[in-house]
Amino acid sequence: MSAKKVLIVFAHESPASFSAAAKDAAVAALNAQDWTVEVSDLYSMKFKAAATAEDITGGVKNAENFCYADEIKLAWEEGRLVDDIKKEQDKLKEADLVIFQFPLYWSSVPAIMKGWMDRVLGFAYAQDKRYSEGLFKDKKAMLSFTTDCPESVYSATGINGDINVTLWPLQKGILSYCGFQVLAPQIFWDPAHVPAEARSSMLESWRTRLQNLCGEAPLYFAPLDYFDKEKGFQLKPEVHEEYASKEFGLTVGIHMGKPLPANSQIKAGV
């Protein structure tokens, strides 16, 4: 990448947390490579999580039947968004890479980070420009998060289920939908319950990965042109035929009734 700008969207209340240590490690490692790094520390910013009509200045067009997605896109086009959203969108506009650093809450991001996604990315929720044609198709994004249990618990036989299934709504439904090239997540398994040496090793592995992060291939998601718009965005017959004889489905969500491709949400090229 010619430009080297990264936005880290960070969600943890404690500066003594492992999440904060992971964020600090990323800042230091990327700065050492002459990246321009900006951090949105959502709790410190007291970022408003709720997506409401208050996000729009000058009133809404249809107060009787308010639709946030429609109103926020129109307000963005007309320059009528409140300042905290505009500031974050300016950061996003400049970034080549966005890293979301957080603890996994209820198999998802914390509410304050989901609010950032709802409010800041709201204008990118477009039916005409999504997935491989999305507004951010020239940008990369990734999740970096901690869990409160070991990796085995998030396995295909573990009680929480396959982590690939857990990540599908976040990586496909949000990041890929907006067009981001999604890099494999950085997962810190259960840092609160492992020895200090293990935590140090996790951070060192993260620092090592950051040395060539944007040289990594992104995760695979089926491109928009695999689907027939005139038939409700169903797989085109020729694509369906191509994959019909394969052992595994196309992706986690678009599995075609077949076994899921293993680790397609945590490793590139699978």
- CATH number, domain of 44, equals 3.40.50.360
Instruction: Tell me what the pLDDT averaged over the chain comes to.
Output: 94
pLDDT at 192 over 50: yes
pLDDT at 166 over 50: yes
For residue 133, give its domain range: 5-218
Q: Contact 162/155 with Cβ under 8 angstroms?
A: yes
Residue 246 lies in a domain: no
Dihedral angle at the C-alpha atoms of 203, 208, 212, 216, nearest 10 degrees?
Answer: -70
Residue 106 lies in a domain: yes
CA distance 112 to 40: 12
Element (H, E) at 38: strand 36-41
What is residue 123's predicted lDDT score, i.e. its pLDDT? 83
Residue 223 lies in a domain: no
pLDDT at 55 over 80: yes
Residue 237 lies in a domain: no
For the segment 99-133, what is each residue's pLDDT rounded down to a tens digit?
A: 999 999 999 999 999 999 999 998 888 777 888 88
E-state strands within 49-191: 97-103, 140-146, 181-182, 186-188
Percent of the chain at pLDDT > 90 equals 90
- CA-closest candidate to residue 139, choices 89, 69, 202, 209: 89
Q: Contact 131/86 with Cβ under 8 angstroms?
A: no
Helices (H), the chain: 18-32, 42-45, 68-78, 83-94, 111-120, 163-170, 196-210, 237-244
Sign of CA dihedral 227, 228, 232, 234: negative
Residue 261 lies in a domain: no
What is residue 270's predicted lDDT score, i.e. its pLDDT? 58
Residue 241 lies in a domain: no
What is residue 147's predicted lDDT score, i.e. its pLDDT? 97
Span 82-100, average pLDDT? 96
Residue 230 lies in a domain: no
What are the structure tokens assigned to 43, written together?
């709790």
Count of domains observed in the chain: 1
Residue 174 lies in a domain: yes
What is residue 1's predicted lDDT score, i.e. its pLDDT? 45
Percent of the chain at pLDDT > 70 equals 98
What are the structure tokens assigned to 15, written together?
């500066």
Q: Contact 191/199 with Cβ under 8 angstroms?
A: yes
